[in-house]
Structure 1
Amino acid sequence: MTIQDRSNLPTTLAEKRAALRPLEDRGEVLETPLALLRAYRFTPQSVAFVRNSNPYPEGTETLEAPSMTGTLEVGGLIGRPFTLDLADLASFPLREVEAVMQCAGNGRAFYRDAHLIEGCQWGRGGVMNVLWGGVPLSALLADSHVLADARFLTATGGDGDGDGFEKSVPLADALDVGIVAYRMNGEALGGVHGGPARLLVPGFYGTVNVKWLRKLTLTRDETSHEAQQERYRTLHPDGRRTPCWRQLLKSVIWTPEEGEIVRGTVTFSGCAFNDGRSSISKVELSVDGGRSWSEATLEVESSRFGWRRWELVATLARGEHEVWCRATDEHGVTQPLDPEDDWNPDGYEFNAADKVRFEVR
């Protein structure tokens, strides 16, 4: 059940920093506590997680929305390159989409030897569920005559030292569901979250959803930028290094929290989500190490890209317990039980069954 009480939400970036958990990195990183994640259907901007690889561009280190000044350059493998004033985005049809955005490193702290893995030690809070609003990329590029050999959309942001932050995504996905987002939960997009405009490709990890957008380039190959080639690529046991693109199936336990003491019946609750390419069919919980499973009540899907809340009420004996949670999609794909099945040296794309220890008294 959502609380939806907005009376005590942060109103400044300083208050947001105090309410969230700071993580160390070269850019600002703030993790959202579970109590704030579960309180709202759409995660408010003022408590949504922050992951910046670089310092803020001038004038964007604020919860306020920057003015829609500046331009968006669109070029590459198109017959008609063009430059658009950001203020003109409002002249296009508005598309709204409920979608989860998650850092590719979310859950890194749950891998074996996590302290030896480079990167922020994310717990469960590097994720948000948001109603995004913006211009469909298909509409933006409708008259640009996309050339046949264009395979990727490369987005360049305004942060960093001159060359910005640059990521590539498959063009087919960008044209199918992507938008240039300038609204977040019905409000103008705040500077801290990429305003005045950012890329949003629903179902993809946050790293590709470039903030402070200044350029879109249609390309034959992925960008050579280090953010694409050196970082945010998952090393697999067979030696392949694949980009962190589509979100893996995942469930998260919101209650009880780790180490919590529960009195009486136990209300297990949380959310489940994936990349939106398949429907989540069930969420199951186990309190006996995976020997038996009970199916939770899963809310009706409101968006294929949004998270779905689940709940299960149980009566347990007094003492210490550990609950496991796993989601399964319509094709029978389920989460691995052992986080080491997908261990990688950068700690990306964690999606093992969530596990929480608590006590009943």
Structure 2
Amino acid sequence: MNLIEEKFILQNNNFDKNIEGSFTWRTPSNIALVKYWGKQEPQIPENASISFTLDACFTLTTLEYKLKEHEESGFNFEVFFEGEKKDEFKPKIETFFKRIEHYVPFLKEYEFVIKSRNSFPHSSGIASSASGMSALALCVMSIEKKLNPEITSDYFYKKASFLARLGSGSACRSIEGALIVWGNHSEIVGSSNLFGVKFPYKIHENFKNYHDTILLVDEGEKQVSSTVGHKLMHKHPFAKQRFLQANENISKIAEVLKNGNLKEFIAIVESEALSLHAMMMTSKPYFLLMKPNTLKIINKIWEFRAATNSNICFTLDAGANVHVLFPENEKEIVNNFIISELIQYCQEKHYICDRIGLGAKEL
């Protein structure tokens, strides 16, 4: 364990624990521009990644807590998702609590009720585990702050990101906004494998209020989960080269975010999306998360860009849905194009208009 990890261990657990109540956090999803795919235990990324924090795609989580009446050794919690009791979510949360217990040892002293809902379809390639786990981590940190009001805001958010990472890697990028880097990188000051950090340089005006319209090509559960996909990178024939490529792309996109070169931004972001899916298609066993309509949308975007010189581009998460990215000054022309040409390829014409957000909010 290194010094940073030790810093997050609750040094004094002798607070007056006789408190009860609830905390609610609204925590956004995020979309990686440079992807991470492949990790080591415990949730350490094989390469650095950078993401836009979203706004309209969020998880709303309430954590109700009260001191246990009787001493018992395990964790005591119930989970409700969108109003329904969800025992099938319990193993993932149990794993999360086990991983973070060392840092927040008061967890076993309380009974919890977790109530959560998403503003978007669960498990459809929008990072629901990112927003869900970060929301839960923030609720846990709110209890720590209630027990120990002296912790600083900087420590609060860093530790929340650190804990969230242990639930879902990309969750550490959903605590703050607007651009978050996760993973050690020599050119990103303060970057760490243990938590996400705000992009530390001035962002060019071109990227202010950037739009992300998410085309829901397939709202069903993915046939291969991200957890399984990450594991398949361990013996992947192209893994080492991929990790190098991603870290080089962090260097390139860091310059682009500062200088505002939109054409270079497009080239990096689209290449990253296709590289991510290339890793899935060449793993053993191989799998394919894109659908025919994913490819139709990509080709339509390329045709439209060639015809209009627009700065529209796409990225993909680990799923079939397409994130359509474009600058604020093109919103009218691109929105018209999306409605007239692209939503026909969405499941039941469903899509979500989103944009860069500023991070999680306590309600």
TM bin (shorter chain): under 0.3
Q: Normalized against structure 1, the TM-score is what? A: 0.26
Greater helix fraction, Structure 1 or Structure 2: 2
Question: Which structure is richer in relative contact order (CA contacts within 8 A, separation 6 or more)?
Answer: 2
TM-score normalised by the chain length of structure 2: 0.26
Whose strand fraction is larger, Structure 1's or Structure 2's? 1
